[in-house]
A and B are shown apart, each in its own frame.
Chain A
Amino acid sequence: MQRLFLASLLGGLAGLANAELQALDDEKLATVSGAGFGMVIENFLYDGTQATITINDITNGSGQNVPIAVKELYVGATGSNKGSNLQPVNIGRLSYPWTLDLVKGENLKTLRDDGQLVQTVPTNLSILSFAAPDKIFGAGGQPCISGYAAAGNNCSMRSTEKVDAGIRFDFSVTGSRTDVINMDFTELTMDGSYLRLWGDNSRQQLVGEARINLYAKTLEILSCATGAAGCNTAQELAARTIYFTNTYAQFALGYGKSQPLLFDVTSNGQFVLELPNPVAGVTNATTRNQIAADFYANAPRTNILIDNLNFGGTRSSPTAVPTGGYNFGRNEISGMSFNYLKVSSHDL
């Protein structure tokens, strides 16, 4: 079924002609390495500031519905002043587009933290890859966060190609109380992110690896509804704002060569996410050590860094570190890797 779907995507076939489609066997599928799609959206602007989406069926401890209203969703060019001045932005550019590819594993590379390009997925397998604009190997890289070199200078998106984005959640947690979380990102980019999927013969299932990179110059979280009582003046708003400055998160899940990401849904509707032990089932100690050495050298790591975290206070300029409030300073989780992870959901 997946093969039919992929073949349709690549061939652009549709409609009645589908009746003649034949499933590709694994051997033939392995020979497919299409050029894929590159996507660039010019003059993109999403303004949902007047729309509300309500999410139901998250319950409280008594099983009663806790409606979540999603509001003020926007994506636009940088300089939007928290969505109040929305202008269109180009998402990607022709030399560094978002891509959807079916490629051989040996042709897919990942930029390691030390700047080296490495292969993370198995050789001679066709990989379905959905990727954000690449990181740049070598010269010509852009600052991932302007004015903050520690985030790296190997992003491909220029400052004008980053976005401002925002979203607000209203949680009606009780009949008389609504908690508000209103988030505004500036200069957000996702360079180097990807999702890669392929079939694993030995496991008889679809497996993958994912990297989600988020770089933002600032993130501000307001905990009240602007205009409501106690949420009017600049002082009131500032006191109820959590400020992130120079923040990035690089989430890495899976290393295709020895630790693919497994995701399954059980017959009772629960999910299971697993990163298996890369040396599980390997009986030879020398081989285990070789696999472990490769895993630690090349598997992408998860890193989360907030150069400054401040509760309350005010910024002297839109991107300056705030003064006043409670300054939690620098916060960092770096070099995180899982030798094993299994997350199983269950009903509460």
Chain B
Amino acid sequence: MFKKILSQLSFSLLLGVNFTAQAELVALSDEKLSEVTGQAFMNMTTDSHNGLTFTRLNLGVDIETQMNIKKLELGNYTRAGEAAGTADISINNFALGSVNDATGQVNPFSIKNPYLEIAYSGTKVVGVRMGFGEAKGHLSGDINRITGNVPVDIYGKGSYLASQISCAWYDLVCHGAKGIVGGAYANSDFAAQAQLVTSPGGDPDPVRAQFIGMVDGQKLSIPSGSGFDNFLLGLFSSNNCALLGTTTCFSLANYGSFPVGQFNAATQQFTDSAKGVFLSMQTQNVQWRDQQDATKFVEALAGAFMNLPRNADGSAAIRTSFQEAFEGIPRVDTCLGPQTKGC
């Protein structure tokens, strides 16, 4: 119906006259035309929090894409404590989705219900964010710097973790732990939470970070383990990017691709989307409403900011194995033909 109206309208407008061959077309009367309304694929909503007011343009669209950007740089300005010439977010060869060169098919990155939101202090704009109701797929890039909230879950078997533990010959505690992790717990699933950090240091570093890893005091755990298991692990915590002699902070440049959303490594399939992914720019710290849990807020620091939130079940939007954390994650192919990136 909408299509027919469009075609009638366009021809009436463009031609202004009826050709003989167009006899079956009938111009819309004003009355009928007044009944035509656009589809409700967009609306505007408001919000307020912490002294700020918000206006949001919601778009009812589903986007499937496999795309490449040679240079993505937001907020390249002088910032205290940061190296000159750097940007809040700087990623080369950025890509969403992947391709399968064996078949020529693409594996698109899915976005549902994107929105654009403005934060006001009175009538002054203090922030703008572009968010996605849901996002799912591979995000790739040569990451130079990231400002934001990028939680990561690292998981893996004790056998692999033990192989990475390096103990000084005199460190009997370390040797004992390595033996237990690689022995009694060899087949147990270990886990740790990681975020943007300084390296060396292991301190949280949400601004122009170059490393991701375990912050000081962060402990390993066995999610399905007993209280005793986790009590034992609780005796060891990451300090200055090291835990039991193994490195716990890793350069972001090592990670060619991140799965955004819940990704089943065994089947290589995405099982759920990440909710609450957004990119924002603000002149002050702004608490944006969390799309994952509408009762909560995500504080975005002044500047350009990327938010990849934890899922409702507490899992991170990005989940990677210890092996990938230690050795890096190879980039998925994002270019048709022989190139894998930079196309």
Contact = CB atoms under 8 A, between A and B. Distances in A.
A289 B118 CA distance: 43
Contact of B43 (A60, A301, A338, A342): A60
A1 B11 contact: yes
A267 B39 CA distance: 12
13 contacts: A1-B22, A18-B19, A223-B123, A230-B122, A240-B125, A278-B336, A328-B281, A330-B76, A334-B71, A336-B69, A340-B64, A342-B65, A345-B61
B72 interface: yes
B45 A239 contact: no
A269 B69 contact: no
Query: 10 tightest CB-CB pairs across the interface, nearest first?
Result: A329-B77, A335-B70, A269-B2, A292-B337, A326-B283, A292-B336, A224-B123, A345-B41, A348-B60, A330-B76
Given A279-B104, A333-B72, A18 B335 contact: no
Contacts of B46: 60, 173-174, 177
A270 B38 CA distance: 9
B106 A277 contact: yes
Interface string B74-97: 111110000000010000000001
B11 A268 contact: no
Interface string B293-325: 000000000111000000000000000000000
A181 B24 CA distance: 44
Counting contact residues on chain B (CB < 8 A from A), the size range is: 35 or more
B341 to A, nearest CB: 12
Nearest to B106: A340
Interface in A282-328: 282, 285, 288-289, 291-293, 295-296, 301, 309, 311-312, 325-328
Contacts of A234: none
B50 interface: no
Interface of B: 1-3, 6, 11, 14-15, 17, 19-22, 37-46, 53, 55, 58-78, 87, 97, 99, 101-102, 104-106, 108, 113, 118, 120, 122-126, 281, 283, 302-304, 334-339, 343
Nearest to B114: A343
Given A277-B105, A335-B69, A344-B62, A330 B122 contact: no
B67 to A, nearest CB: 5
A21 B20 CA distance: 9
Nearest to A68: B44
A60 B116 CA distance: 14
A224 B118 CA distance: 14
A35 interface: no
Given A61-B43, A224-B123, A292-B336, A341 B61 contact: no
Contact of B125 (A311, A334, A338): A311
Given A277-B104, A340-B64, 6 more contacts: A8-B15, A18-B20, A277-B105, A312-B283, A328-B75, A345-B61
B77 A348 contact: no
Contacts of B335: 292, 296, 339
B39 A270 contact: yes
Contacts of A177: 46, 53
B101 to A, nearest CB: 8
Contacts of A239: 124
Given A329-B77, A336-B68, A348-B43, A231 B123 contact: yes
A203 interface: no
A58 B39 CA distance: 10
A338 B17 CA distance: 40
A184 to B, nearest CB: 15
Interface in A1-35: 1, 4-5, 8, 14-15, 18-19, 21, 23
A15 B15 CA distance: 10
B65 A341 contact: yes
Report which residue of B21, B68, B104, B338 has the largest number of chain A beta carbons within 10 angstroms of its beta carbon. Answer: B104
Contacts of B3: 265-267, 269
Given A8-B15, A340-B66, A344-B62, A269 B1 contact: yes
Contacts of B2: 265, 267-269
A340 B104 contact: no
